[in-house]
Amino acid sequence: MRILGISGLYHDSAAALVVDGWIEAAAQEERFTRKKHDAEFPKHAVEYCLSVAGCGLDELDAVVFYDKPFIKFERLLETYLSFAPRGFQSFKMAMPLWLREKLFQKQIIAKELKKLSPGFDVEKLLFTEHHLSHAASAFYPSPFEEAAILTMDGVGEWATMTLAVGKGNDLKVHKELHFPHSLGLLYSAVTYYIGFKVNSGEYKVMGLAPYGEPRFARLMLEKLVDLKEDGTFHLDQSYFNYSVGLTMTNDKFAALFGEPVRGPEQLLTQFHMDMAASIQAVTEEIVLRLARSVRAETGMKNLCLAGGVALNCVANGKLLREGIFEGLWIQPAAGDAGGALGAALAGYHLFHGKPRDVPAKGDAMRGSYLGPEFGPAQIEAELTTAGAKFEVLDETALIEATAQGLADGKAVGWMQGRMEFGPRALGGRSILGDPRSPAMQKTLNLKVKYRESFRPFAPSVLREDVADWFELDGDSPYMLLVADVREELRREMTAEEKALFGIDKLNVPRSSIPAVTHVDYSARIQTVHAETNPRYHQLISRFKALTGCPVVVNTSFNVRGEPIVCSATDAFRCFMGSEIELLVVGNCILRKEDQDPALKLDYKEAFELD
């Protein structure tokens, strides 16, 4: 039985294919079109999924879309009516788009599917609810026979948060919190207020938070959020504008905190850092209260998470350390792209009633390496066409040369195997560096990623060594948990390092691996497992043999403003548009000094900084 799941037409379009309950393929449309957060129908992602299965659309048993547009339209209308006459301008702008493109999405999706396969039977097109898709994506691939499932995001149709329970192949939603009361939208409102883009800048707020103090947290809980003991809450809508306006917050919100909305190019001040710390603290308090009440209400020992808020790895780390649940599993594609996978799994287990096999070891996501991979001939052909100068090595020589490059302080572009599904690079499409280098964080941020210098980088660490380097003794394969660097590895930053980083704060904490240690000694950890990514595991093992350090810097293989690379052509373009010094694609190795200078790209000019 083949079930295709689709998400999109709002943002982060994606497709996923499940065959007899096995996740065969999943990918975001942005990786193919090179348009970040591409919202168009995921034509290329669908074609990729079908190519993996070796079948056509007309051979599928069902195509499942991840939400129900008519219910979403009902919410839109009811919201505008309840706030009228406020929001008329927004209503006037939204209605033509809905009536032209969004309301009749079944016809639009059917039309796109028929373009791909004229014989496609429209009766096979099904719809599931947004948060049910998230819940399915969290529970069905998890390692648990039964679990509570908490989904938290901006908004689906009406729901902004749901509690579900999964047992075997059954999954039922028990409770919902409804729009406009939304943890995701609250976090996005502060993201907007601090001057970052909604739906992409939330990571920046989380990264900025450790530089501040949560001095506004109490004010937020007194004025913005009426938080109950069980974690449910109501937001005072008089401070917000997202329900019917064109902005997230209003003048009353700005007056409450005493500063106007920050412009994107304005200097970040201590005020903005304190706002980030405050919304992070409020988010963590809500998540912890929710988790406690879910455990008490359901009696479940395991918890699964999905929805955009589940990408807040700092909150996830605190939840793990609290020990409220014996088992915690988070869907790596927790945002809307993962809704495609949840829709496909719901189609298989719920709509068709098929049984579920719980993995004997690990989970069913296969390391989240579910995207395209490219054979040696195709890689070499693409690099040749691009004008690249490269050398082809056997695996042993390739690992040795790459590990030595890392040990020598080089920034390395690393493209191997299948592309990751979800927002994190996990050693399939990554930029790597030496974590021991005090200069590496600043170098990668400013010269490779072209982004703010405060942004932290993640460590990839051998699973067998994680407890020796971090305050974590467990799996974190998807970079969704934050833990501290072990105390014996910590030290204060030297005067020379402070000058290098341009930081004038006193007592800035660092560690033996400063490039992956945030200012509060924390790190967003990825444990690397030989079973799911053997070549990446070999590379880090060889780096450990050379340096004594089983950790490498891992950040996504892209520059600010573009999606993570997919193909060898994408990788070479990024290589030539940044100060990456070594590129390793399949068994091909490329050195920057060997390349034709005429092929250099000015990425800084080509992409607007977001």
Separation CA 78–CA 395 (nearest Å) = 60
Catalytic residue from among 11, 178, 352, 529: 11
Counting Cβ atoms within 10 Å, is residue 270 exposed (0-12), middle (13-18) or buried (19+)? exposed
**Residues 515, 457: contact at Cβ < 8 Å?**
yes
How far CA 32 is from CA of 28, 142, 371, 385, 566, in Å, comes to: 8, 28, 11, 18, 7
Q: Got the DSSP string for 330-357?
A: E-TT-STTHHHHHHHHHIIIIIS----P
Please count the other Cβ atoms lying within 10 Å of the Cβ belonging to residue 206.
23
**Residues 505, 526: contact at Cβ < 8 Å?**
no
CA angle 26, 28, 33 (to 5 degrees): 135
Q: Is 391 helix (H, G, I), strand (E, B) or coil?
A: strand
The owner of tokens 């004594």 is 548
The owner of tokens 């496609």 is 120
Q: Could you say which DSSP state residue 99 is in?
A: I
Query: Does the active-site annotation cover 174?
Result: no
Q: What is the largest CA-CA distance in the chain?
A: 69
Separation CA 393–CA 122 (nearest Å) = 49
The owner of tokens 């990446």 is 536
What are the helix (H) ranges across 502-590?
A: 534-547, 568-576
How far CA 162 is from CA of 69, 140, 156, 202, 307, in Å, comes to: 18, 16, 10, 21, 10
Spatial CA neighbour of 158 closest among 136, 175, 141, 144: 175
Cβ neighbours for 511, distance < 8 A, ≥ 6 positions apart:
485, 489, 490, 491, 517, 521
Please count the other Cβ atoms lying within 10 Å of the Cβ belonging to residue 254.
14
Separation CA 260–CA 487 (nearest Å) = 40
Active site residues: 11
